[in-house]
Structure 1
Amino acid sequence: MTAAGELRSGKGHKDENFPVASKLIHPRHRALIFAFYNFVRTADDIADHISLPPQEKLAQLDRLEAELLGNGETQAEAVALRRAFAERGMPPRHAQDLLTAFRMDVTKLRYDNWDDLIHYCSYSAMPVGRFMLDVHGEDRATWAANDVLCAALQINNHLQDCGKDFRDLNRVYVPLDALSAAGASVEELGQAKASPALRSCLKSLAERNEALLMQSASFSSQVKDARLGMEIAVIDTFARKIVNLLKTRDPLSENVHLSKLSMLMLAAMASGFEIGRRAAGVKSMPRLSTGA
């Protein structure tokens, strides 16, 4: 039997669009966060595996969940996370929600509309932020702002990778009604350059995502842990910068990802801004400009 870890893509936490247990997070939380990340990355890579048959993907995801819940010792990532949860007295709920999303990735290749996509994000993205909040003992009243930011992060990723997802996996997260309204087709996602119709569709979705991000503007100020607040401020800044790129560039033919240097500069500015806000005792301040 192939172990789930053998199906990893090789992508690690340093390759993500967002920081994973960065230096901003207190060291006492990092082991659990990395155990969570390794489990989730393994499951995600299984769902995204180009050559693995769908039924084998689902079987591998089932094995990961079974061992996460204590039924077996063969899947290293599941066992490590199970033990890390046990040490902290935390339930596996958020990891299980993410497994639901990965099963959807295997079985659901199209999304009818924006609400359909947000429903997917409720399993694929929101649980990640909820996990981080629970790790830090934050009030669950913060979940509403978290859910909006996490959904926006996920949709950014869908727009950035819309061509690759279609070409490699025949998977389309761009809502079908948005494509239809713009006069674009699914097949256009496989082109080397977006048509005017597809470009209009993707830009309108980026603008809608920008409006979604505005709803989570006060998120960092809602959390008590200063380190986590800085992490949230950094992630929010990355998300808004990516939205600006998606509004002005074609993700099929142009770079819509942040460079490592850009991420470092934005992280320094956002964390400094958050420190200043907290030091001044200000509940909220105008958000940093990320430029175009």
Structure 2
Amino acid sequence: MQGSFHLPKHRRTPICIARTLRPAFLRMELNRDAPSSPRKNVRERAIHMSQSENFPVGSLLIRRDLRPMVHVFYRFARDSDDVADDPGLAAEAKLQRLAWFEAGLDGDSDGAPQGLALASLDRPEPSHHARQLLAAFRWDARGGSCATWGELLAYCEDSANPVGRFLLNLHDEGRAARVFSDQLCTALQVLNHLQDLRADHLRLGRHYLPADWIVGEGARLDDLGADRLSPQLRRAVDRALDQCDALLTGAENLPGVLRSRRLAAEATTILWLARRLSRHLREQDPLAGRVALSRLDFARAGVLGALVVLRGQTSAQAQRSAWEEEA
């Protein structure tokens, strides 16, 4: 998949990677002896990663002492996700390499260094959440596609929500935040899927927009490869955006239940960016070209985050004033 905070195709996540973390941080090279291990220049990969993410998780808003752990988790998620989304690898080769990543989580010295780095952290949660991500990536590797909205939600449960839960655990947040974090991560994941409708279909033979919605509106799956949305496919996309907006409405409760003001600021910026991306996707055609957030979008989101950190302004207050200005 191409995101976490997309967050694959660069999405995840989610407060997600989904592909939803956004550090320009990449230090470890892949093990030379890994099965079919790609070898890219580290700086080149870092630039590619920083440019391809939607949402700035792992930013300066995260507490300094926690950032290294966020980066280690992100590196694992990003690199294992890239395996599942590599159009040049057969399904069996992808599964073999994903097993190598899991071997690292198991502490196998021959496993992926990204997994070993996660396993070496002095907490059990990162490895648990990483295994959930691997379950989603295996599904991707086998060419999985979503027949219904329920299937897409189940997929996001493994592919996106673990990222938000990882950040909650890292900050010792309570379980009250989990449902709102899941809503945010799921929305981010779906938005990123909508950005990549055409690329997923043409490069990977996958689709995440529910097939029953596509067919129900009178469109065909092959329409995902067209150079513009048909009216029928537009309706299916808008239906998904309606669901995302409902999820984001629920997720607006997240900053208010977080004890960490910095994490609340991070969530606030991502919520605002998600709303912006949803609006862009309604106004633009994701098949005609990639719909993306602008530098101005990121700048405005940063101001909202600063309001939370410096003045204690709540996410709802900050976002309401921002949307009033936008209107």
TM-score (norm 2): 0.82
2:142 counterpart of 1:97: no
2:34 counterpart of 1:2: yes
Counterpart among 260, 265, 272 of residue 306 in structure 2: 272
After TM superposition, list the pairs within 5 Å mapping 1:125-140 onto structure 2: 125-140=160-175
Q: Decide which moves more: 181-190 or 88-97.
A: 88-97
Q: Verify the 8 A CA contact 1:213 1:240 in the aligned structure 2.
A: yes
Counterpart among 48, 53, 58 of residue 85 in structure 2: 48
Q: CA deviation at 1:108?
A: 4.3
Q: CA deviation at 1:264?
A: 2.2
2:281 counterpart of 1:246: yes
Q: CA deviation at 1:89?
A: 5.3
Q: Verify the 8 A CA contact 1:221 1:229 in the aligned structure 2.
A: yes
User: What is the distance in 2 between the residues matched to 1:108 and 1:165?
Assistant: 10
- Which residue of 2 is the match for residue 78 of structure 1? 115
Secondary structure, counterpart of 2:223 in structure 1:
helix
Q: CA deviation at 1:14?
A: 4.8
Q: Verify the 8 A CA contact 1:3 1:74 in the aligned structure 2.
A: no
Q: Verify the 8 A CA contact 1:206 1:243 in the aligned structure 2.
A: yes
| 1:188 partner letter | D
Pick closer, same or farther for the CA change 1:49–1:252 going to 2, 3 Å.
Answer: same
Pick closer, same or farther for the CA change 1:30–1:91 going to 2, 3 Å.
Answer: closer
Counterpart among 143, 150, 153 of residue 118 in structure 1: 153
Q: CA deviation at 1:286?
A: 6.9
Q: CA deviation at 1:218?
A: 1.1
How many residue pairs are counted as aligned between the two chains? Answer: 287
Q: Decide which moves more: 222-231 or 245-254.
A: 245-254
Aligned-CA RMSD value: 2.1
Pick closer, same or farther for the CA change 1:13–1:34 going to 2, 3 Å.
Answer: farther
- Which residue of 2 is the match for residue 161 of structure 1? 196
2:233 counterpart of 1:198: yes
| Larger RCO of the pair (alpha carbons < 8 Å, separation 6+) | 2
- Which residue of 2 is the match for residue 12 of structure 1? 49
Q: Verify the 8 A CA contact 1:145 1:216 in the aligned structure 2.
A: yes
Q: Verify the 8 A CA contact 1:13 1:19 in the aligned structure 2.
A: no
Secondary structure, counterpart of 1:22 in structure 2:
coil
User: What is the distance in 2 between the residues matched to 1:44 and 1:196?
Assistant: 32
User: What is the distance in 2 between the residues matched to 1:172 and 1:156?
Assistant: 13
User: What is the distance in 1 between the residues matched to 2:89 and 2:152?
Assistant: 25
User: What is the distance in 1 between the residues matched to 2:318 and 2:270?
Assistant: 16
Secondary structure, counterpart of 1:72 in structure 2:
coil
Please, which runs of 5 or more residues in structure 2 have no aligned partner?
Answer: 1-32
2:100 counterpart of 1:63: yes
Pick closer, same or farther for the CA change 1:67–1:176 going to 2, 3 Å.
Answer: same
| 2:38 partner letter | E
Q: Decide which moves more: 258-267 or 215-224.
A: 258-267
Q: Give the fraction of aligned pairs with identical amino acids, expressed as a percent.
A: 34
Please, which runs of 5 or more residues in structure 1 have no aligned partner?
Answer: none
Q: CA deviation at 1:140?
A: 1.8
Counterpart among 251, 258, 263 of residue 223 in structure 1: 258
Higher share in helix: 1
2:249 counterpart of 1:214: yes
Q: Verify the 8 A CA contact 1:7 1:46 in the aligned structure 2.
A: no
- Which residue of 2 is the match for residue 285 of structure 1? 317
| Structure 1 residues 210-235: Cα deviation after superposition (integer angstroms, max 9, x where no partner) | 11211111101110001100000001
Q: Verify the 8 A CA contact 1:5 1:77 in the aligned structure 2.
A: no
- Which residue of 1 is the match for residue 25 of structure 2? none
User: What is the distance in 2 between the residues matched to 1:132 and 1:4?
Assistant: 31
- Which residue of 2 is the match for residue 25 of structure 1? 62
- Which residue of 1 is the match for residue 24 of structure 2? none
Q: Verify the 8 A CA contact 2:108 2:116 in the aligned structure 1.
A: no
Q: CA deviation at 1:246?
A: 1.2
Pick closer, same or farther for the CA change 1:286–1:32 going to 2, 3 Å.
Answer: closer
| 1:23 partner letter | L
Q: CA deviation at 1:107?
A: 1.8
User: What is the distance in 2 between the residues matched to 1:285 and 1:166?
Assistant: 40
Q: Verify the 8 A CA contact 1:156 1:242 in the aligned structure 2.
A: yes
- Which residue of 2 is the match for residue 260 of structure 1? 295
